[in-house]
Amino acid sequence: MEFCEFCGNILNDDGRCPWADCPHNAILDVMAAAETADKQTDTDDTNGGT
């Protein structure tokens, strides 16, 4: 069981905070978006390279 570092709520099973507006969720969203972008740049390699 993990507690949110911002509001102290018990985190959901998926690791998100039950408080929808919590910064914890915002950070998770940013990290997920960054990971997605990472994968996209990985596969979209055709216009890369210097």
Q: Which residues bind to Zn ion, rule: CB under 5 A?
A: 4, 6-7, 9, 17, 19, 22, 24
Kindly state the smallest distance separating residue 31's Cβ from Zn ion, in Å: 15
Nearer to Zn ion, 19 or 28 (CB): 19
Bridge partners, 10 (sequence order): 3
Contact 16/7 with Cβ under 8 angstroms? Answer: no
Nearer to Zn ion, 9 or 28 (CB): 9
Q: Tokens at residue 1, please? A: 């069981």
Kindly state the smallest distance separating residue 36's Cβ from Zn ion, in Å: 23
What residues contact 50, with CB distance under 8 A and at least 6 apart?
A: none
